[in-house]
Amino acid sequence: MTGHSFDPTILRAYDIRGIFEDTLTTADAHAIGLAFISIQRDRGLGSAVVVGRDGRLSSPALAAALIEGLMAGGATVSDIGCGPTPMLYFAAHELGCGGAIQVTGSHNPPTHNGFKMVMGGLSFFGDDIQILGETSRNGPQLNDGGSVTEHDIQPAYIDRLAAGAEAAGLTVIWDCGNGASGPVTEALVSRLEGTHKVLFPEIDGTFPNHHPNPVDPGTLDILRREVAAAKADLGIGFDGDGDRIGIIDAKGRQVPGDLLTAFLAQDVAARHPGAPILLDVKSSESALRLIESSGASAQIWKTGHSHMKKRMKELGAPLAGEMSGHIFIGDGYLGFDDAIYAGARIVTQMIRGGQSITAFMDSLPPQNATPELRIDCPDTEKFAVMDRIREHVFASHNPDDVNVIDGVRVRANRGWWLIRASNTEAALVARAEAEDKAALDGLLGDIEAALGAAGLAWVRP
């Protein structure tokens, strides 16, 4: 078969993502399917693939083309239709499929879309995505015997989410943001005791109420107002494909993913004392100390859901989390990032543990930390910029104070700061945390100096 080449900007570190009918087309989707099943069969993982999609307007066309490509390569496809990405992961596990692909643009703008992939029970990312591009260019072999069957996995998935969940006596607001989590969330809360209100459960790929991205504080403003109006115990928001969570406590505070992980660690570590619990490189020292105090071993790892899931399996870790709201629970669950399950687990822990998320936040000392700071930087330049930043850092800091597991994380001036290249956006990401506001200001100056040394002008917040 004649080979197919992709726009190089869409083959990213964790997934494939582009602008529909610009850098990403249905022809690309067909080629992805054909190359993916070729690799899967070559690896001895059979021909069974499960396919799902989110609620973006372009997702049905891309999913149809993807399935055609998979069948052209001889795949036996189980089409689970529209739903959150973790439902795809659940389906791959339950159906025993060698591969799984979700058509999703995650938290990107409505005109964007892409593909998250699993093969052999592991995230298909990094070098695998480059191999897929090469396989497609070389023209993978066509095979007979391809087929597709629709499979309604949603009832079984909801059963699993609801198993053991408790919410009696709580008032909870759930914000689905018109993303793919809406119908599943409505079905889940209908089984829970307590008082629940679900905002924007209708799937609408134009996202008419707000963009579903819980990292952006502005996207949780409606949820925050609803929590206050209802005097609710907490609010739970999801991103567009349901694999990232945002929490608003009863006092209107947003709880970042690293602290959510530390909250969950109190329960998990009681069953797994001394076990490794992972946080990504953007996470705070406060969260690391909380996890250690719970009796677990806190470890920092690379940002990115694929990196975290791989590392969890390597270490047998029962829990991991990212500041961005990806929470991975292996204790009593399947170890992938499922925001809906994480929400149910947080609510259940509030009941069983006797501590609300608000009381947990009240117990923490004041934080002198920035949120995630975004610095625009073209995809074609950001990794070269990071090389220059690393050179500056090693020339101006003690190497023992520098962690380069993912970008540069530097201990300095009674705190730490980080700059790393985003693997999903044309941007660098920075963050800092210090003992007091004066020290934090000094760390922001260090970030400004490092960016300046790399040729980037930046105005600190």
Can 106 be counted among the known catalytic residues? yes
Q: How far is CA 70 from CA 89, 121, 420, in A?
A: 18, 18, 35
Q: Of 106, 136, 283, 284, which one is the catalytic site residue?
A: 106
Three-state secondary-structure class, residue 322:
coil
What is the pairing mode between strands 99-103 and 48-53?
parallel
- Give the max Cα distance, the chain: 67
Q: What gap in Å lies between CA 239 and CA 200, rounded to an integer? A: 12
Query: How deeply is 274 buried, as exposed, middle or buried, from its count of CB atoms within 10 A (0-12, 13-18, 19+)?
Result: exposed
Residue 437 class from Cβ within 10 Å (0-12 exposed, 13-18 middle, 19+ buried)?
exposed
- Tokens found for residue 365: 């000392």
DSSP letter, residue 207: -
356 to 162, 287, 360: CA distances (angstroms)? 20, 17, 6
Q: Dihedrals φ, ψ of 267, to 5°?
A: -80, -45
Q: What's the distance, CA 402 to chain centroid? A: 26
Provide the sign of the torsion angle of the four alpha carbons 199, 347, 239, 330, taken in this order: negative
CB 370 within 8 A of CB 433: yes
CB-neighbour burial class of residue 273 (10 A; exposed 0-12, middle 13-18, buried 19+): exposed
Buried b (16+ CB within 10 A) or exposed e, 211-250: bbbbbbeebbebbbebbeeeebbbbbbbbbbbbbbbbbbb
CA dihedral 11→12→15→18, nearest 10 degrees, is: -60
What does the DSSP assignment read for 329-344?
E-SSS-SSB-HHHHHH
Interstrand relation of 195-199 and 415-421 (parallel, antiparallel or unpaired): unpaired
Neighbouring C-beta atoms of residue 96, cutoff 10 Å: 10
Catalytically annotated residues: 106
